Amino acid sequence: MKRLFLIPLAVGVLVSCQSKDSEESVNPFFAEYETPFEAPPFDEIEESHYLPAFKEGIKQAQEEVETIAVNPDAPTFENTILALDQSGELLTKVSSVFYPLRSAVSNDSIQSIAREISPLMSQHRDAVMMNMDLFARVKEVYENMDTAGLDDSQKRVVTKYYQDFVRSGANLNPEEQERLKAINTELSSLTLKFGEHLLAETNENFELVIEDESKLAGLPDGVKSAAADAANAAGYEGKWLFNAQKPSWIPFLTYGENRELREELYRGYFMRGDRNDEYDNKEIIKQIVALRAEKAELLGFDNHADYVIDVNMAKEPDAVYDFLHKLWNPALEKSKEELAQMQAIVDAEGGNFDIAPWDWWYYAEKLRKQKYDLDESQMQPYFKLENVRDGMFWVANQLYDITFEERSDIPVYHEDVEVFEVKESDGSHIGLLYLDYFPRKSKRVGAWCTGFRDAGYDHKAGEVVDPLVSIVCNFTKPTGDTPSLLTWDEVNTLFHEFGHGLHGLFTEGKYSRTAGNVPRDFVELPSQIMENWCGEPEVLRQYAKHYETGEVLPDELIEKLQNSSLFNQGFANVEYLAASLLDMDWHTLTTEDQVDDVNAFEEASMNEIGLIPEILPRYRSTYFSHIFSGGYSAGYYVYKWAEVLDSDAFNAFKESGDLFNKELAAKFRKHCLQEVGEGEGMVQYKKFRGQEPSIEPLLEKLGFEE
């Protein structure tokens, strides 16, 4: 299991707390889970259990750490590094339930608990990582590891722990450490507040209620039905409700003929956190950025991006900027070509207006029909959620000979959640996979992969710890007799998150610090490579079946889908790269840089790269949760960085002539999923590929070869 005091979220100080004994009879966290595979008993866990468990977990973790720090015996790998690696079991246990559920089924009470726990966890982490007696022992093991008879895995975990301490301020003087502790505590509260504001802005603070059905012109029946169901659930009987969740606004912008309502709905989305009200995020952003710059300077770095990227594959911000700009210019030119083609449609229809951001999806869809005779609504009936799910399971089986068996005896935290037991071909257990598909007010937006227990090794028991992996999405719910039908983008999303899930399920390693842990700009390789399979004709024929007739997606539509793979790549890459460059601009600021106006800074950043006004960055600053509350600060670039890796890796399968080449799949599983924490990212990739990745397969995939 990953020990939570090493995770940025999991950071705090010794606190008074309720006795473990007084809670043991009723608090599930204080006992072994008596469930299949020791899965969390969600049906027994109550909100009142979290605080006592967190506080007791912090207390126990600090007692364990202090025991290591004051050990009179000479520091060794076993009594210092291994002991540290195995500490904090209770804290990890409660954190591994609370934090995933805070994103999936939050409420005012859960948010209140998070606000109370956040500074305690921050202070706890600092108390561990700035414990000078503990650091002295870690440092001694580090300095003598070459003569201590350690194997490569042990040397790597020693190195990583030593690096963690240094990067957490262990080498600072006492005054600097106190300032760093204050910064960490403040940042933990600010990032939490940013996320709370965004959750409210997305799920509660904006809605578009339509009473006149004529204003729904152009929308497919399924979209209208979903909007009617949403309206009924919200108390708007006989009306239609749209909101700032992507499954709601993207279909409206894609098919809705009413331009004024497209604008109103899109503004409801892109003005989140920027309405100058109690949920405004601009002041929070200024504080976060300033504190991150100060922290980086304290630790000896020029800026926050320097600090973050120092342990990534890219190593330094300049390498990231160079990489992004190599893609920016061809992407921008492609987007301008797309814009001209769409404007021609507007003009031909007598529109008498210039395309605005809220028009792009609508006219892109028209252009798709015009160029490729492909209407996405034609394909959606073939992408029934359950069929797509079974399709991705089939791909995993073909590659890795694993199987998925649905279990009804595993407790779940919401009625929409499914659980599957994952097994090897010989029937041996690998882990559990939880799938949570649909939006709700208690769930944050987007899609992600998390887990309730990491794979690892219990040295005390001498046994492997099997993982509990969870994939959370926001797909359109079934309505009436119509099942959940995914868009092509959502199909890709599900395969993407499943790739993360396979990484979590396959992870092996004896040490929590290194098992499965990879640089931030490697972590998207396992997810993005899976997207390559979902559009292959051989795979499509497995899962793309009409939900009413069972008819397989016709070859004609498969061919159109293949032909249109380069469609709208200018837009898709420009909005992503713009957000990546905005992230880098925020986090290359130094303590001497002063930002007075968040929107002005964002505008200047986008003007600098020549972003056309018809496209907004994928995330504007005020709702850029990846970088201001989600752990991707100075790291949003990693999706495209990893796309170089995944394109090159998938190209190996294509070059072999077998998309399910068992030998290649076994090597990828071993070096890039299973043992990936045993070496640096590029080292592990080269073990699989035999060479460094080429950017050419990505340029070809994007249509940017020239």
The CATH number of residue 447's host domain is: 3.40.390.10
Q: Which residues of 665-693 are buried (b: 16+ CB within 10 A; e: fewer)?
A: bebbbbbbbbbbbbbebeebbebbbeeeb
Alpha-carbon span 99 to 188, nearest angstrom: 14
Structural domain includes residue 647? no
The Cα angle at residue 231 between residues 102 and 364, in degrees rounded to 5: 85
At residue 567, the pLDDT reads: 94
Same domain, 12 and 146: yes
Do 391 and 484 share a domain, yes or no?
A: yes
223 lies in a domain?
Answer: yes
Which domain, by its residues, includes 439?
381-517
Judged against a pLDDT cut of 80, whether residue 18 lies above it is answered with no
**Last residue of some domain: 147, 167, 187?**
167
Pair 394, 466: CB distance under 8 Å: no
**Residue 706 confidence (pLDDT):** 56
Shared domain check, 151 and 90:
yes
The 10s digit of each residue's pLDDT in 21-57 is 444 458 999 999 999 999 999 999 999 999 999 999 9
Mean pLDDT of 153-182: 97
Closest CA to 129 of 6, 31, 222: 6
Mean pLDDT of 656-673: 98
- Whether the CB-CB separation of 84 and 161 falls below 8 Å is answered with yes
Does some domain include residue 441? yes
Q: How many domains does the chain have?
A: 3
Query: What DSSP character marks residue 677?
Result: G
Residue 76 has pLDDT above 50, yes or no: yes
For residue 199, being part of any structural domain is answered with no
Average pLDDT over residues 644-672: 97
CA distance 252 to 362: 9
- Report CA-CA distances (Å) from 582 to 130, 483, 626: 33, 39, 12
The 10 Å CB-count burial string (b at 16+, else e) for 588-619 is bbeeeeeeeebeebbeebbeebebbebbbbbb
pLDDT (tens digit per residue) in 187-212: 999 999 999 999 999 999 999 999 99
Asked whether the whole model's pTM tops 0.85, one would answer yes
Assess whether pLDDT exceeds 50 at residue 141. Answer: yes
Q: Does residue 442 register a pLDDT over 80?
A: yes
- Domain check: are 240 and 385 in the same one? no
Residues 79 and 136 in one domain: yes
Which tokens is 180 given? 């760093």
Domain endpoint, select from 221, 249, 270: 270
Query: What is d(CA 437, CA 435) in angstroms, rounded to the nearest whole number?
Result: 6
Whether residue 367 is contained in a domain is answered as: no
Tell me: do 422 and 499 sit in the same domain.
yes
Question: Do 242 and 146 share a structural domain?
Answer: no
- Considering the domain boundaries, does residue 283 fall inside one? no
Catalytic residues: 497
Kindly state whether residues 122 and 236 are assigned to the same domain: no
How far, in Å, CA of 331 to CA of 342, rounded?
A: 16
Please check whether residue 117 lies inside any domain of the structure.
yes
Does residue 699 lie within any of the structural domains? no
Answer yes or no: is pLDDT of 592 > 80: yes
Bridge partners for 457 per DSSP: 464
| Residue-level pLDDT at 25 | 52
pLDDT, one tens digit per residue, over 599-625 is 999 999 999 999 999 999 999 999 999
Tell me which of 248, 270, 292 is where a domain ends: 270
Q: Over 80: is that where the pLDDT of 705 sits? A: no
CATH number at residue 16: 1.10.1370.40
H or E stretch at 243: strand 240-243
CA distance 106 to 50: 13
- HEC profile of 244-296: CCHHHHHHHHHHCCCHHHHHHHHHHHHCCCCCCCCCCCHHHHHHHHHHHHHHH
Residues 153 and 219 in one domain: no
Residues 163 and 96 in one domain: yes
Q: Are residues 398 and 490 in the same domain?
A: yes
